Amino acid sequence: MATMNDTAFSAVPRRRWRRGMLSLLGLLPLALLLLVWQLVQQGPSPYFPRPSLWADALVKLAVTGKLWPALWATVQTFLESLVIATLLGSVLGMLIGRRRRIAQTTGPLFEFFRVIPAAAVVPVAVLFGGYTESMKIVVVVFAAIWPVLLTVQSGARRLPAARDDLARSMRLTRWQAVWKVLVPSMVPSILLGVRVAAPIVLIIVLLVEIITQVPGLGALLASGQQNYQAAQVFGIVAISGILGLLTNLLVTAVEAVATRYESR
Amino acid sequence: MTTARIAGPPVLSRTRRRRLWLNWRGASLIVALALLVELLVQTRVVDFQYVPAPSAVIGAGWRLLASGRLLSDTGHTLSAALLGWAIGSAAGIVLGIWLGLSRWARRFGLTSVEVLRAIPGIAFVPVVILIFGFTITMEVVTILFVCVWPVLVNAVAGAQAVTAVHDDVARTLQLSRLQRVFAITLPTAVPYIATGMKLGLSTSLALAVVAEMVGNPAGLGYSIVYFQGALQPASMFAVIVWIGLLGLALNLLYELLTGRLSTVRTGLAEAR
């Protein structure tokens, strides 16, 4: 290994660099499109303002102090909702996955809840919670809990019998069995659920903000549209694209943790 | 804890879900919850002004159904959803097969696709409203833009899943490029595409509702907003429940239609 060390050392970064360049090459169509857009669209347009105007609109929003609070509100709701959906989904999933009767009893109700579009839930949540931050979180959790709940449920159902036997032969109490056997066994399932849930959470946060105008990026999007500020709308869409990419990075990171955990 | 599992081998989730629909426990939970709310509202224990009793919701739903409003709204929403879904899926299949087959297209296109796909589809709703106004076109464009991605990603994977043997067969038979696409690539990719289209289908209904709530004032989504504004919560709840039932029916219908493709579920389960 020691002799291979120096070759490996130089080869890996170069390969990574090449792959990086290749994926940058893949950005070419998008970059070209934006460039053509910028050059063709002279003067203001009510529908397709040129990309440099997006930047101007964003700068204006930032200067007037609207952009950063909105961005932070969206990110904060995103993180809080993801954590709550993960915790709640994991607990419910374990409970339902381990108890067949509970699974039978809750199955149809949950199946029904799962297909109700998040947008339709918004007016109901508003009835109960008003136009507040917690209303946002309730809707997002309601929509994003299912991937976590379902993966954990099927994970808990397929827990190897040997692990149960292990808990019994070590005479663990029920509590200990849950903490030392069940929960650690569920980590891969939970992480898988988080991977699916994270993009959904981002989408639903924006959705609730667009519909209710509760402060956030979505509210800026909707108000931009209502005031025919096309440049502002496109600028915020670009920012939500960046948020989407960051979410993908988060998902990749979670994936890496999951594979390391499973190979241990 | 263990007795339940010893009782039998793990049942496939699909058959299990089917059976759940007929189980009395599940049905009784729903009925019990409805009765509980009914009781609380009738006896005025909960003093939520806007919480309707389940009986009122059923009554409102029945009136909406009888007046024909619910059905015409459903027709509008479903046609927008299905049209957007069909166009988006077709575009996703064509682009996905192309990206899957051509190394060149992947090299120059894949990252752009990744970036565009990362933009939450919902963020495009205001853009589409700006461009198309409050029309059904706006709904269809919103839906197709979101439905295209799961189909595209799955079609790329499906096109690349062609085995070496099939490649050899194509070469032995001296199939032309086009023949190869229709005789080998597409059949291989069908299960993947079907999975992508299933994901798109449930999204399409959800997006039609959103588009109608904030954009085009028509269909079921607008009905929700309308009854919310008109302070008729019973009708609002009836429409919401109806949308849920509609989603279930769409899923079931799709599963029935694609049930013949035995390998439907081998595609990518997530839209990644």
Confidence check: pLDDT of B263 > 50: no
Chain A residues with beta carbon closer than 8 angstroms to that of B2: 161, 164-165
Write out the residue range of the structural domain in which residue A176 sits.
Answer: 52-263
Answer whether residue A239 is part of any domain: yes
Confidence check: pLDDT of A248 > 50: yes
pLDDT tens across A126-179, in order? 877 788 888 889 999 998 898 899 888 888 888 888 888 888 888 888 888 888
Q: How far apart are CA B191 and CA B198, in angstroms?
A: 11
Q: How far apart are CA A18 and CA A12, in angstroms?
A: 10
Confidence check: pLDDT of A228 > 70: yes
The arithmetic mean of pLDDT across residues A233-261, rounded, is 85
Confidence check: pLDDT of B195 > 80: yes
Residue B174 phi, psi (nearest 5): 50, 50
The arithmetic mean of pLDDT across residues B37-46, rounded, is 77
Confidence check: pLDDT of A111 > 50: yes
Residue of A nearest to B206 (CA): A117
Encode chain B in three state secondary structure.
CCHHHHCCCCCCHHHHHHHHCCCHHHHHHHHHHHHHHHHHHHCCCCCCCCCCCHHHHHHHHHHHHHHCHHHHHHHHHHHHHHHHHHHHHHHHHHHHHHHHHCHHHHHHHHHHHHHHHHCCHHHHHHHHHHHHCCCHHHHHHHHHHHHHHHHHHHHHHHHCCCCHHHHHHHHHCCCCHHHHHHHHHHHHHHHHHHHHHHHHHHHHHHHHHHHHHHCCCCHHHHHHHHHHHCCCHHHHHHHHHHHHHHHHHHHHHHHHHHCCCCCHHHCCCCCC
pLDDT tens across A11-39, in order? 445 556 666 666 677 777 788 888 877 77
- pLDDT value of residue A4: 41
Highest mean pLDDT among A77-86, A128-137, A193-202, A215-224: A77-86
Answer whether residue A78 is part of any domain: yes
The arithmetic mean of pLDDT across residues B229-245, rounded, is 87
Confidence check: pLDDT of A8 > 60: no
Instruction: State whether B112 and A241 contact (CB < 8 Å).
Output: no
- Nearest by CB to B112, from A26, A105, A119: name it: A26
Instruction: State whether A203 and B120 contact (CB < 8 Å).
Output: yes
The arithmetic mean of pLDDT across residues A224-235, rounded, is 83
Confidence check: pLDDT of B97 > 80: yes
Confidence check: pLDDT of B139 > 60: yes
Residue of B nearest to A24 (CA): B111
CA A73 to chain centre: 15
Highest mean pLDDT among A43-57, B86-100, B170-184: B86-100
The CATH number covering residue A137 comes to: 1.10.3720.10
The arithmetic mean of pLDDT across residues B72-94, rounded, is 93
Share of chain B above pLDDT 70, in %: 85
Q: How far apart are CA B113 and CA A250, in angstroms?
A: 19
Confidence check: pLDDT of B47 > 70: no
Q: What integer best gives the mean pLDDT of chain B?
A: 80
Q: Provide the pLDDT confidence category of residue A10 given band limits of 50, 70 and 90.
A: very low
DSSP single-letter state for residue A227: T
The arithmetic mean of pLDDT across residues B1-6, rounded, is 36
Asked if A141 and A84 count as a contact pair (C-beta separation under 8 A), the reply is yes
Answer whether residue A249 is part of any domain: yes
Answer whether residue A251 is part of any domain: yes
Asked if B96 and B153 count as a contact pair (C-beta separation under 8 A), the reply is yes
Residue B192, both tokens: 């993947």
Q: Provide the pLDDT confidence category of residue B9 given band limits of 50, 70 and 90.
A: very low
Answer whether residue A117 is part of any domain: yes
Answer whether residue A19 is part of any domain: no
The one-letter amino acid at B206: A
Q: How far apart are CA A220 and CA A128, in angstroms?
A: 24
Chain B residues with beta carbon closer than 8 angstroms to that of A107: 17, 20, 23, 26
Answer whether residue A37 is part of any domain: no
More confident residue, A46 or A77: A77
- pLDDT value of residue A264: 63
Instruction: State whether B111 and A27 contact (CB < 8 Å).
Output: yes
Q: What integer best gives the mean pLDDT of chain A?
A: 81
pLDDT tens across A55-93, in order? 888 888 878 888 888 889 889 999 999 999 999 999 999
Query: Which of A97-111, B4-18, B43-57, B129-143 shows the lowest mean pLDDT across its residues?
Result: B4-18
The arithmetic mean of pLDDT across residues B91-119, rounded, is 85
Answer whether residue A108 is part of any domain: yes
Tell me the shortest Cα–Cα distance from B142 to chain A, in angstroms: 13
Buried residues in A37-76 as b, exposed as e (16+ CB within 10 A): eeeebeeeeeebbbbebbeebbeebeeeebbeebbebbbe
More confident residue, B15 or A263: A263
Instruction: State whether B221 and A119 contact (CB < 8 Å).
Output: yes
Instruction: State whether B4 and A247 contact (CB < 8 Å).
Output: no
B214 near A CB under 8 A: yes
The arithmetic mean of pLDDT across residues A228-244, rounded, is 85
**Phi-psi map region of A172: left, alpha, beta (phi>0 left; psi -120 to 50 alpha):** beta
* Count of domains forming chain A: 1
Confidence check: pLDDT of B14 > 70: no
Using alpha carbons, list the distances in angstroms from residue B2 to A3, A252, B221: 53, 35, 46
